[in-house]
Amino acid sequence: SGVRETTAEVPAIRLRNLTKTFGSKGFNETRAVDGVDLDIRQGEFFSMLGPSGSGKTTVLRLIAGFELPTSGTIELEGADVSGKAPFQRDVNTVFQDYALFPHMSLVDNVAYGLRVRGMKKAERRERAIESLERVQLGKFMQRRPSQLSGGQRQRVALARALVVEPKVLLLDEPLGALDLKLRQQMQIELKELQRSLGITFIFVTHDQEEALTMSDRIGVFNNGKLAQIGTAHEIYQRPTGAFVANFVGTSNLFGPDIAASLYQRGGQFVVRPERLTLDWTASTAKHDGAASLRGTVTSLVYVGHATQVRVALEGGPAVVVLVGSDLPDEASVVGKTVSVSWLDRDAVWLPDGN
C-alpha cells in the first residue's frame, strides 16, 4: 500500500482513495491509479514524478476532469468535484504540445478562454495583453504561433492557461519539448512566476532533476501508487524504499547480505555518491563510525565539476563515487584496486522488502 498525506488546513486539492482502471476486469484491466491519498497545499509547487506508465498523467487528467475516477474522490478547495465536467472545475491545464491555435494571433490565442466564458471583447483583449506581458511576450502579441521559438510558444501556452486565473494550474511535462539550456531557463522562470502569482501548480515530470530543482514537495509514483511524498531534500536524503532511492539520484544500494556482514543487522541501505570516499591506495584501515570495502574501478564519467568513478566492490554492489579534480588519468585508473569508505551515519537504511 502507498503512503498517505493529509494536512489540517483546506488543501487546494484533496485526493481520497483515488482509483482509475482502464479495460475490462479479468481481460486487459490496467490499474493506472491505485488508491491515491494526497493533499496538495494552497500555493504549493507540487511535482508528480515517476517512470513512464506509473500513473502521473492519469492523476492529472482526473484532477482536470478529462477522466472520471473508477472510485475515490477529488476535492478542490473543499468542494467535491469528482463527477464534474472540466469546465465546471476551477483548474486549467498546460499540455506538452501547447495546443495553440495556429491561425490565431497570440493575443487571440490567449483571449480565447475568456471569450468562451462570455467576457466582452475590449476587456478580454486587455487581460490577454496583460497575461502576455507577464511572460515577456507583449511585443509579439500580433504574431502567429509559427513565428515563435519553442520556448516562446511554451510561454504563450502558460499565458493562455493563466489568463482565466485558475485556482490550480496543471502542467503535463510542459518543458519536455525544449532543449536542455532553454529547459533550465524555463524551470527558473516557471518557478518565479508561480511564486509571484501564488497559484497552486501541479507539475508532471519523469525528470528527477527537474522535480528536485522546482518543487516545494514531490510525490513519487510507482505502479499507480504514491511511493513517497516529501520535499526534494527528504526524497533525496531519506528515501523510504529502494524504488525511490533508485529512481531519484544514484542509489548505491547495498543489499541484505552485505548489510548483515558489515553491520550485523537486517535490511538494506543506500549511500549517495557524494558521501562515498575513494582511496587510490586501497587502504581499508578501520576508523570508528566508518566502513570500508575494496573494489575495482570499472569506468569514469567526467561531469565538469567532478568525475563519477564506478567501482565494483568485493562482495558488494557496483557503486558510483563522486571525486573532485585530483584524479589520475583514465588509462591508469580503470582496472585499479581501490577502497571505498563512508561514515555509518551516511548510510540510509531502507525497510526490508520495500
Contacting positions for ligand ATP (CB under 6 A): 22-23, 30, 32, 50, 52-58, 206
Pair 324, 304: CB distance under 8 Å: no
Q: Taking the chain, what is the end-to-end CA distance rounded to the nearest angstrom?
A: 11
H-helix segments, 198-329: 208-214, 232-237, 242-247, 256-263
| Distance between CA atoms of residues 238 and 221, nearest Å | 16
Q: By C-beta, is 91 or 114 nearer to ligand ATP?
A: 91
Q: By C-beta, is 205 or 307 nearer to ligand ATP?
A: 205
Residue found under cell 582496472:
335
Least distance in angstroms from the C-beta of 27 to ligand ATP: 12
- Locate 238 and state its grid cell: 531519506
Q: By C-beta, is 215 or 268 nearer to ligand ATP?
A: 215
Q: By C-beta, is 67 or 75 nearer to ligand ATP?
A: 67
Least distance in angstroms from the C-beta of 23 to ligand ATP: 6
Least distance in angstroms from the C-beta of 63 to ligand ATP: 12
Is the four-CA dihedral 226, 229, 233, 237 of positive or negative sign? negative
| Distance between CA atoms of residues 104 and 107, nearest Å | 8
227 three-class SS: strand
Closest CA to 77 of 21, 11, 133, 20: 11
Least distance in angstroms from the C-beta of 59 to ligand ATP: 7
Least distance in angstroms from the C-beta of 64 to ligand ATP: 12
Q: By C-beta, is 30 or 284 nearer to ligand ATP?
A: 30
Q: Which residues 6+ apart lie within 8 Å of 36 measured at CB?
A: 2, 15, 17, 18, 19, 55, 59, 72, 224, 225, 226
Q: What H or E segment, with its residue span, contains residue 150? A: helix 150-162
Give 44-106 as a DSSP string. Answer: -EEEEE--TTSSHHHHHHHHHTSS--SEEEEEETTEE-TT--GGGSSEEEE-TT----TTS-H
Q: By C-beta, is 54 or 131 nearer to ligand ATP?
A: 54
Least distance in angstroms from the C-beta of 92 to ligand ATP: 19
| Distance between CA atoms of residues 24 and 43, nearest Å | 38
Q: By C-beta, is 61 or 160 nearer to ligand ATP?
A: 61
Least distance in angstroms from the C-beta of 68 to ligand ATP: 12
Least distance in angstroms from the C-beta of 212 to ligand ATP: 17
Q: By C-beta, is 186 or 204 nearer to ligand ATP?
A: 204
| Distance between CA atoms of residues 153 and 247, nearest Å | 31
